[in-house]
Each structure stands twice: as structure tokens, then as C-alpha cells.
């Protein structure tokens, strides 16, 4: 029925333990033996049983991806991360389990235990905002399960992947400033996401560098959702001196801003420039297409998982890899209305 390790051993004329060594890439196997065993495995179509390995040994070749289920980023973002993690798993013959966590539930720890200790999970990929949720990290450490983080706030002794979001946000706001905007508003996301703070800091940096005093009237709290973007924008529109440009901390909220602008009869970008962050598919599906910062989510998922596996396979300790951002300047931003309403070529493309 099933080809077992023992069958391979018999076919090769070595002991089961030696086959096991080859399987686990242990160094102390003679090269010729290794080749023989490998050939037999291949020809017999041998595939080890994860259950048996998990039960007998300390590894399961299983990683889990954790995300926050009631306070998460856009589902398109998570889906891309997930695809990237799966890419990496594929490359290293790991399997992936997915685990949504509700941080508010007290049953939270039980879920982590159930996953990590029951399934002998080898390692975990943590997505925002769980990356910095102390009770989770503590529990993982207690279990001795290593993790890689996507965009963690705290970089100390953490592996995974990050981006210089503050610099990216500054570059984006610099772009608005160059276009003559002075009254630039910022819509923040949830405070427990590093993204909210980094992007706010980038905004502040750019404004300060341009010699514009920070004005809290132009900074509104949002929740990373489309609806919160609508509400924040409505609020900004009622100001005595409404902004000529709005920088929303993510694309979903930026879409909400554009929606609210439509509602109010404001033309984007003629009356109002709008930009977001992440470059989710939504950004190019809006009209006009949204100026934003590209965050390579799929690559980030893959890189984080690769760092984790590097560590798991004892190949190294894993790194916190920094990926580059890139500005996506599209048609939702234009020169400020009062300054110089240049009517440039503005034909949108997909």
C-alpha cells in the first residue's frame, strides 16, 4: 500500500535510520549512500508520513499563518501574503495551516495552544497587527515556537520582513507638496498597527521639512476600512479651510475619501487630490486611479516565510529583510487648485 521508510531501506540495503538521515539532510551520510537512497526514494515514489514524523520527532514541517480576525488589513492584502507564504512552503516542502485569531476573545490563548502544541507547528508567520501583540508572542516563546513577522513595529531580535513605511509616506507627501498643496490632511488607521504610526510620522516629516506647522485639525482617526474613510473625509470637508489633498493611511480609506468626494460633488483630482497606501488591486480599479505606495505583499509573505524556514532548517538565524517601496503616481493627485490649476495631459490607463 503505502511505501514506508523501511521499504526504501530494504531496497537500498541500508538501515531505516540511514534513510531517515538522508530524508532529514543530516550531514553524516556518505555521499554515495545518500545518492543510492535518494534514487530509491525517487523511483519508489516514497513520501514520508507527516503524522509519523510529527509523532516521533520534534518537527512537523508545518507552519501556520496567523491573522487577526476582527481587526485586520484588507482581505486582498492578507490573501497576497498568504499566497506568498504558500510559495515559500512549496519550495521547501512545508505545509501551511491558516489560523484566524480573535484577539479580544479570552479563548485566544487556547487557540494558539491548540494549533501550535497539538499540531507540533514548527514555526509561525505573524501578520499585522498580531506582530506586536505581546500575549501572543509570549505564548509562542513559551512553546518554543519561532516566528517570522510581516511589518513588525518592534525590530529587536525579530525576523521577517519590513518596509520603510515612514520614508515611503514622506515621499508621497513630498509629492503632494511639490504639486503646491499646503493643506494636506492625513487619515490614520488603527493605532495598534505600526502602519498607522509610521505613515503619520512620514507625513509629519514631510510637512515639517516644508516648513508647514503641524495642525491636528487635519489629522483624523480612521479604522483602515472604506467606511471609516468616508466618515473621516466628510469631517474634513466641513472644515473652514478644507484640505486640498488627503493622504489616507491605506487604499481602502482612500477609496472612501473618493467616494465622499463624489458624494459632495468634488472632482478628484481637480478639486481634491487623494492618495492611499498599499497599492491593492482596488487602487487601479477606482476612477481616477489612485496614487499610492506599492507594498509588495506577496513577496513579503514569501520572504518572511523563507526567513522562517532558513531558521527552522538550521541554515542560519534568519533576518529581518527590508523590501523597497515604490511610489505609484496616478491620476488621483494633481496640482493644488488654488496655486496653478495646470491642465496637463491626464489620460488614465489601466
- DSSP code at position 320: E
The dihedrals phi and psi of 57, each to the nearest 5 degrees, come to -105, -165
In whole angstroms, the minimum distance from the beta carbon of 89 to DNA comes to 18
- Burial class, 10, CB count within 10 angstroms (exposed 0-12 / middle 13-18 / buried 19+): middle
**Per-position x/- string for 110-129, each x denoting binding to its own copies as judged by CB under 8 A, each - no binding:** ---xxx-xxxx---------
> Site for DNA (CB under 7 A): which residue of 11, 21, 148, 184?
21
By the rule CB under 7 A, 11 interacts with DNA: no
How far apart CA 164 and CA 166 sit, in angstroms, is 6
By the rule CB under 8 A, 258 interacts with its own copies: yes
Pick one of DNA, its own copies, none as the site partner of residue 28 (Cβ within 5 to 8 A by kind).
DNA
In whole angstroms, the minimum distance from the beta carbon of 122 to its own copies comes to 12
Kindly identify the residues of this chain, within the stretch 59-88, that bind its own copies according to CB under 8 A: 60, 69, 75-76, 78-80, 82-83, 86
Q: Which residues sit opposite 291 in a β-bridge?
A: 275
By the rule CB under 8 A, 50 interacts with its own copies: yes
Measured over the CA atoms of residue 348, residue 268, residue 175 and residue 152, the dihedral's sign is: negative
| Most distant CA pair in the chain, distance | 86
In whole angstroms, the minimum distance from the beta carbon of 7 to its own copies comes to 15
Binding piece for DNA, criterion CB under 7 A, among 9-17, 72-80, 93-101, 133-141: 9-17
The cell numbers describing 122, all together, are: 514548527
Nearest to 336, CA basis, from 274, 254, 261, 259:
274
How far apart CA 276 and CA 249 sit, in angstroms, is 6
Q: Distances in Å between the alpha carbon of 319 and those of 98, 148, 153, 304, 316? A: 23, 9, 15, 9, 9
Nearest to 147, CA basis, from 49, 77, 67, 50:
67
Kindly identify the residues of this chain, within the stretch 280-319, that bind its own copies according to CB under 8 A: 281-282, 284-288
Pick one of DNA, its own copies, none as the site partner of residue 326 (Cβ within 5 to 8 A by kind).
none
Kindly identify the residues of this chain, within the stretch 65-94, that bind DNA according to CB under 7 A: none
By the rule CB under 8 A, 255 interacts with its own copies: yes
**Per-position x/- string for 30-49, each x denoting binding to DNA as judged by CB under 7 A, each - no binding:** x--xx-----------x-xx
C-alpha 279: how far from its chain's center? 12
By the rule CB under 7 A, 52 interacts with DNA: yes
- DSSP code at position 117: I
In whole angstroms, the minimum distance from the beta carbon of 128 to its own copies comes to 16
Site of interaction with its own copies (CB under 8 A): 2, 47-52, 54-55, 60, 69, 75-76, 78-80, 82-83, 86, 95-98, 100, 113-115, 117-120, 226-227, 230, 252, 255-256, 258-259, 262-263, 281-282, 284-288, 348, 350
Amino acid at each position: 500500500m503505502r511505501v514506508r521508510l523501511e521499504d526504501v531501506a530494504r531496497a537500498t540495503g541500508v538501515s531505516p535510520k540511514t534513510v531517515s538521515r538522508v530524508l532529514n539532510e543530516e550531514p553524516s551520510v556518505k555521499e554515495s549512500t545518500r545518492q543510492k537512497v535518494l534514487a530509491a526514494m525517487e523511483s519508489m515514489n516514497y513520501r514520508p508520513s507527516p503524522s509519523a514524523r510529527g509523532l516521533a520527532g520534534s518537527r512537523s514541517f508545518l507552519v501556520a499563518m496567523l491573522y487577526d480576525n476582527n481587526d485586520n488589513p484588507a482581505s486582498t492584502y492578507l490573501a497576497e501574503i498568504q499566497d506568498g507564504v504558500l510559495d515559500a512552503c512549496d519550495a521547501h516542502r512545508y505545509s501551511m495551516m491558516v489560523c484566524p485569531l480573535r484577539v479580544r476573545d479570552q479563548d485566544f490563548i487556547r487557540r494558539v495552544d491548540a494549533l501550535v502544541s497539538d499540531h507540533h507547528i514548527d514555526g509561525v508567520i505573524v501578520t499585522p497587527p498580531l506582530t506586536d501583540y505581546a500575549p501572543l508572542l509570549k505564548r509562542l516563546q513559551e512553546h518554543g515556537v519561532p516566528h517570522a513577522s510581516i511589518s513588525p513595529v518592534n525590530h529587536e531580535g525579530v525576523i521577517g520582513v519590513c518596509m520603510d513605511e515612514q520614508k515611503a509616506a514622506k515621499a508621497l507627501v513630498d509629492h503632494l507638496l511639490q504639486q503646491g498643496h499646503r493643506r494636506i490632511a492625513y487619515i490614520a488607521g488603527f493605532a495598534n498597527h505600526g502602519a498607522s504610526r509610521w505613515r503619520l510620522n512620514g507625513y509629519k516629516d514631510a510637512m515639517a521639512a516644508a516648513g508647514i506647522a503641524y495642525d491636528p485639525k487635519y489629522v483624523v482617526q480612521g479604522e483602515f476600512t472604506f467606511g471609516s474613510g468616508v466618515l473621516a473625509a466628510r469631517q474634513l470637508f466641513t472644515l473652514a479651510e478644507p484640505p486640498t489633498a488627503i493622504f489616507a493611511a491605506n487604499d481602502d480609506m482612500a477609496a472612501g475619501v473618493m467616494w465622499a468626494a463624489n458624494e459632495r460633488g468634488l472632482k478628484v483630482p481637480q478639486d481634491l487630490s487623494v492618495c492611499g497606501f498599499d497599492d491593492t488591486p482596488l487602487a487601479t480599479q477606482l476612477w481616477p486611479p489612485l496614487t499610492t505606495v506599492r507594498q509588495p505583499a506577496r513577496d513579503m509573505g514569501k520572504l518572511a516565510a523563507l526567513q522562517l524556514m532558513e531558521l527552522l532548517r538550521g541554515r542560519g538565524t534568519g533576518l529581518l529583510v527590508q523590501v523597497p517601496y515604490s511610489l505609484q503616481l496616478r491620476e488621483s493627485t494633481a496640482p493644488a487648485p488654488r496655486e496653478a490649476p495646470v491642465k496637463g495631459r491626464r489620460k488614465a490607463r489601466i
